[in-house]
Amino acid sequence: MANVKVTLDSATKTISVDDAHVKVSVSGKTKVQWSCHEGNFQIKFKPGSNWPNPVTTGTGGVWMAECGPFTNPGTTLKYAVESTGYKTLDPEILIDA
């Protein structure tokens, strides 16, 4: 499992992640899990991707979303991290064999 920490900075209204170029493995059946302690967020894959957008759930002050495992080696999935009132962030997932 690749874990990505999402941070919502309320002072600057920006979103950041601790890994903007997540690497996952098809053979390892790696999933990606995003988590945030500051508030709700959404993961939205860019047009051209066949991956469904994961649902974000929140319990106990932690919001989480998860997707995978991935099946298309040698590709890069571009996605957006969005949250109401914050500037959208555009990181990526690199899929290896």
**End-to-end CA distance of the chain, in Å?**
15
Mean pLDDT score of the chain: 94
State the pTM of this model.
0.93
CA nearest to 17, candidates 86, 95, 96, 97: 86
The C-alpha atoms of residue 32 and residue 18 are separated, in whole angstroms, by 13
pLDDT band at 61 (very low <50, low <70, confident <90, very high): very high
Q: Tokens representing 74?
A: 């040698």
Query: Is the previous residue joined to 54 through a cis bond, with omega within 30 degrees of 0?
Result: no
The torsion of the CA quartet 13, 18, 23, 26, rounded to 10 degrees, works out to -80
Asked whether residue 51 carries a pLDDT value surpassing 90, the answer given is no
The C-alpha atoms of residue 60 and residue 56 are separated, in whole angstroms, by 13
Q: 97 pairs with which residues across the strands? A: none
